[in-house]
Every structure is written in C-alpha cells, then in structure tokens.
Amino acid sequence: MKIATWNVNSVKARLANVTGWLGATSPDIVLFQEIKSETASFPTAAFEELGYHVQAVGQKSYNGVALLSKLPAEDIITRLPGEPEDKQARYVEATVGGIRVASLYLPNGNPVGTEKYPYKLRWMERLRLHAATLLESGMPVVLGGDYNVIPAPADVYDPVGWAEDALFRQETRLKFQEILALGYTEAFRALHPGLTRAYSFWDYQAGAWPRDMGLRIDHFLLSPQAADRLVACEIDKGPRGQEKASDHTPVVLDLRAPD
C-alpha cells in the first residue's frame, strides 16, 4: 500500500499540480493538509475522477485536511479528541484497507510568546493521548501529515538560527519524542538514519528553494504493526520545482501487504 502526505497550501490554487502528480504516481491513500477550503467547496469531483473516495475537513481560508483513498474509508472522525472547543480543521482519521490512518496538520506555534505556542503544545499532548489509545486497538496505525516539528538538527538547514522557533524549540521536540516513546516509528528516519539535507519544506522567501534552505517537517509515525510492514519512505522533491508549487513537497510511504 502506497500512502502519500502533502501540505498542498491551497488545494484550489494547486489543483492542476496536485491532480497531475496523483495521476502519475497513483498512491492508494493521500493525506492533504492546509487545503484552505471549506468542506462543501472542496474540489471533490476532480479527485473522484481519479478513483478516490474523499473525506475533507475544511474551514474558510485557513487550515483544513483531507483523506483520499481508493478503497472506502470507514469509522471516520473529523476532530482530534481532547478539546471540544477547538474548531480548527486539523485532523481526519479513518480505517482504510485494514489500516487506521490519519491526516493531521499540527499547529505552527509561532510567535512563541503568544497563545499560539501553548496551543501547539496542548495539541501535541492531545495527539499523544489519542495515539496511545490507537495502539490499544492492535490495528496498524499510520499518523501522517505536516507536524510542524523539526525533529533533529539534521532536519533543518540552519539549526542555530532556528533554535528558538516553535518548530525546533526543545519543548516541541520533546513532545514529539514523547509520541515516539509510546512505540511509534518515524518512518523516514528509520530507513534513512544518516541522511542529511532531506527536506520536505522550502519557504517562498529568500530563495530558499534554489538554495536548498529547507526543513523536514512532514512525517509518518507508524505503530509497531505498521512498522513491521515498512518497505520505503521517500521525499519526492519534483512537485516543489513546478510553477505555482506548494512550499511543501510530498512524502511517500510504502507498506507491504500483511502476511
């Protein structure tokens, strides 16, 4: 099973890029973040034409996630548990082909001195608690998306310059490690432990893309049952070099069929 995650940074603005990539690569499951579209106005028909069932969770102008799958999605939830008053569209989860899979868009958290950073940390704690609950099911679990977390110095072009950014602060990285400590595997780093300059995001400013000033903030976390089936996890840089590109590029996970 091939699963892709991609922060598309406005699905309508990038629709030709996104559908073109899907047509060429044909993943079984696609996780989008930052669709920047209300649920009702998500371009569902364009993806149905490519053979996908669509579960979109959107809001006007900001955030938004979607889960596309060639097999039907079952037992869908559209909010991360734990804070009912949180109405931001950042999470969708479903069972597809015997795998529990989620598309998540973790808060950025900047500027650190505002309420945005405590919100990020609360969201991460909610994710940790829910991730623990998911493990109890015994199903293979795949939590994919834009985590807005730089896990280690090798995952950012300038670790010193980013030291106090919400994406790289020690408290953020520790929260991420707490999720891994439950028993989850970070797929890309498990397969590429020493690889450097492997980024999934390049800002639009300061020539970041041509100068390869990037960050690796788009991740797949796998439960033990999913990690046992891990075959490959690669970053496809091709879409970032296109006209009207998102500032993120897809990350693609391959899981073998169950025994």
Per run of 10 residues, the mean pLDDT along the chain (length 259 residues) is 98 98 98 98 98 98 97 98 97 98 98 98 98 97 98 98 98 98 98 97 96 98 98 98 97 94
3-state secondary structure of 173: helix
For CA atoms 64, 230, 213, 177, the dihedral sign is positive
Question: Residue 149 is part of a domain; what is its CATH number?
Answer: 3.60.10.10
- pLDDT, position 75: 98
Residue 53 CA to residue 72 CA, distance in Å, equals 6
104 strand-pairing partners: 91, 145
| Buried/exposed code over 173-183 (b: 16+ C-beta within 10 A; e: otherwise) | bebbeebeeeb
**Please, what is the Cα angle at 163 between 187 and 208, to 5 degrees?**
75
Instruction: Dump strand ranges (E) for the chain.
Output: 2-7, 29-33, 53-57, 65-69, 74-77, 91-96, 99-105, 141-146, 185-186, 201-202, 214-215, 218-222, 230-235, 251-255
- Per the listing, tokens 């106005």 go with 41
- Per the listing, tokens 């996630």 go with 65
Domain around 224: 2-255
Q: What total number of domains does the chain contain?
A: 1
- pLDDT, position 259: 79
